[in-house]
Amino acid sequence: MTFLSPFLFYSFLVICCINLGYFLYFSVFNAEEKKENNNSHFDGISIIICAKNEAAHLLGLIEKLLFQDYPLFEIVLINDHSSDASLSIMQDFEKRNANISVFDLKSSTGKKAGITLGIKNAQYETLVFTDADCLPASNQWLKKMSAAFSRETQIVLGYGAYKKFKGSVLNKLIRFETLLTALQYCSYTLRKNPYMGVGRNLAYCKSLFNTSGGFEAHNHVKPGDDDLFVNQNATTTNVAVCTKPEAFTISAPKTNWRDWFIQKRRHVGVAHLYKPKHKLQLGLFYLSQAMFFLLFLALLLTKSYLIPAACTFLFRELYVWRVYAEAAKKLKELDLVFYSLLLEPFLVSLQMLIFITNTLVKPRRWK
C-alpha cells in the first residue's frame, strides 16, 4: 500500500463529511412549514410577465391567470419584440379585460427592460412574476403567495415545477435538478441566508425594486432578473418561502439535450456575480459533490480501503437519499425518489461540463 492510498481515503472522509454537512443544512427544508399569515384584507397584486415569441403559451396562461381566486389583481403583459402573434394575443385580451395592461418594448430590448417597464406601470405594491411558458398549479396561486408576506417580508420565493413526461431521462434529470435547486435556495432562506429565487415563481415589493435601483447593478448581463436581484436585495429577515402545492407553477421543460444544456449554461453563467460568501458556499457544495464521487472511484480503481470506503459511501448515500425523498414528497416529485441516487452523479458530471464550457465560451442569450 503506497502513501497515495491513505491520502485518498482520508481525503474521501473529509469530503464526505463536508458534503453531509450540507445535506444536514438542507434538512431544515423538510421541517414542518410555518402557518400562513391570515390576512383580514387583501391588497392588490400586479402579475408581471415579459414574453418574446410565446404565442403558443400565452393563450392558456392568461386564461389561467384570469381565473385566480383573488379579489384584486391586474395582469401586466410586456411584449419583447416578438415576431409571432404574441402582441396581438395580448392586445386581444386587453380589449376584453379591464385588469389587463399591455406594453410593447420599443427603444430597448431584453427581459430586464421588459420587467422594468412592467413594474413602472404596475398599480400595486405586491408584484408576482412568472414566465409565459408557465401555468399556475391552481387558482389559489396568488392567495398562497400573498399569504407568505408579513410585515418584514419583501421577497417570497415559490417553487417552479416542470411537467412530467414518462419514459424521458432528460425530463427526470431536469426535474431532479429543479428539485435540488429548490432544496438549496429554500434551505438557505430558512437558515436566514437567502441567495436566489427563480423567475418562474417569484414575488417582491415594488418599493424594494425602486429603492434598490432595480437591475442597474447587473444590467450589463442579460440573465439574472430573478436570482441576481434576490441575491442583491435579500437580507436575513426580508425573504420567505412558499412551498404550498397550490402555489406551484408548472413549466414546459426542454425536450432535447442541446436546448437544456444552453439553458443551464445561461443560468450558471451569472453565479460569479453572487455575493462572495454565496459563491464560496455554493462552490464548496458542488466541489464536495464532485470530489465525493471522484475519490470513491479512485479508491475502487486502486483497490484501497475498500470496506471502509464502501461503508462510508453507503452511509452518505442513504442519508442523502432520505433528504431527497422528503423534499420530493413535499414538492410532489415522488417519482424521482427511486432514481435520485443515479441522477445525482449524472447531474454532477453535466454540471462540471457546463462549468468548463462557460469558462471557455461565455453564454450570450437570455432566451
285-292 long-range contacts (CB < 8 A, ≥24 apart) are 285/19, 285/22, 285/184, 286/348, 286/351, 288/15, 288/18, 288/19, 288/22, 289/19, 289/344, 289/348, 290/348, 290/351, 290/352, 291/11, 291/15, 292/12, 292/15, 292/16, 292/19, 292/316
SS3 134: strand
Q: Do the strands 73-79 and 45-51 form a parallel or antiparallel pair, or are they unpaired?
A: parallel
Of 198, 292, 186, the residue nearest 239 (C-alpha): 186
- Asked if residues 268 and 354 have their Cβ atoms less than 8 Å apart, the reply is yes
The pLDDT assigned to 361 comes to 66
The pLDDT assigned to 45 comes to 98
> Which distant-in-sequence residues (6+ apart) come within 8 Å of 214 by Cβ?
116, 119, 229
349-357 long-range contacts (CB < 8 A, ≥24 apart) are 350/173, 350/261, 350/264, 351/264, 351/268, 351/286, 351/290, 352/290, 354/261, 354/264, 354/265, 354/268, 355/268, 357/265
The pLDDT assigned to 157 comes to 98
Q: Helices 169-190 and 257-268 sit at what angle, rounded to 10 degrees?
A: 20
Q: Which amino acid is at 272?
A: H
- Asked if residues 134 and 250 have their Cβ atoms less than 8 Å apart, the reply is yes
The pLDDT assigned to 363 comes to 56
pTM reported for the whole predicted model: 0.92
The pLDDT assigned to 48 comes to 98
- Asked if residues 192 and 352 have their Cβ atoms less than 8 Å apart, the reply is no
In 10 A of CB 245, how many CB atoms?
14
For the chain, 367 residues long, the average pLDDT of each consecutive 10-residue run is 80 98 96 62 90 96 97 97 96 97 90 96 97 97 96 96 94 97 97 96 98 94 92 97 97 91 80 94 96 96 93 97 97 96 94 79 55
Of 337, 357, 163, the residue nearest 249 (C-alpha): 163
